[in-house]
Amino acid sequence: MFDRDTLDTFKILLEKHPDRILDIYDSFSANQYASKDWLIEKVNEYPHNYKSKSLDKKIKICLLASWYGLLAYRLIDKLTLKKIAHIDCIDYDPETKKIAKRLWKKIEADNLQSGKLTYVKFIEEDINKIEKLDYQIVICTSCEHLDQQTIYDTIDKCEQHTLVVLQSNNYKEIPQHINTVDTWQNFANQYVSKLRNMKIHEKDFGKYKRFMIIGTKI
């Protein structure tokens, strides 16, 4: 059964964002959950000190093209290697920010009550206008939506040794996928001059394959 708060949230979304309902639904699909949890599993396995020798030091995470924020809250629940100070979710779409804040309002309250003090901030911003990315982890799971130069420029804005996590796919049938790759080898070759200690992963989702790179900024 849905609780009253969840039903009220759905009612508000239907009233204020009727054109986004299918998009919101897609953002919480089984494949989206699987993709996010797969990412966290591999990040947990990656040997990296996040620029800190202190195991108690909390880290800052940036999610680029973050959509409605599912990955942020999966990270809070499942990232095991480090405690998270805060997560910035950056997306250029102003409606995304409004919807995400409504979607996660109750979860935020529950997390605070249970002692999960990670602060999640939704930011409306064009990636190209960001001057510096001062985070220990920078993640973009939407490389297929971004032109290649934008991704290169974004990595260049990270500090040296920042842990960078990128995902793309070979799903060419979607018009918004302007920068797909055919194989994990093609994906990896794009970043040999930007990242070191790269770990490359591939996951089959039936209609398409998703590729992931985890590495540190050179």
55: pLDDT strictly greater than 50:
no
Strand partners, 62: 88, 138
Q: What is the DSSP letter of 92?
A: S
Domain range for residue 142? 30-217
Question: Is 1 domain-assigned?
Answer: no
21 vs 10, residue with greater confidence: 21
* Average pLDDT for 205-211: 97
The model's pTM is 0.89
CATH label of the domain that carries residue 197: 3.40.50.150
* 4 falls within a domain: no
Does any domain span residue 18? no
> What is the rounded average pLDDT of the residues 166-178?
97
Which residue spans within 74-117 are E strands per DSSP? 84-91
**What value, to the nearest 5°, has the Cα angle with vertex 26 and ends 22 and 31?**
160
Digit-coded pLDDT (tens) for 72-112: 999 988 998 778 888 999 999 989 988 888 888 777 766 66
Question: What is the spatial distance between Cα 146 and Cα 195, in angstroms, rounded to a whole number?
Answer: 18
The share of the chain scoring above pLDDT 90, in percent, equals: 64
Q: Is residue 21 part of a domain?
A: no
- Asked whether the predicted pLDDT for residue 2 surpasses 60, the reply is no
Average of per-residue pLDDT across 117-138: 91
Please state the domain count of the chain. Answer: 1
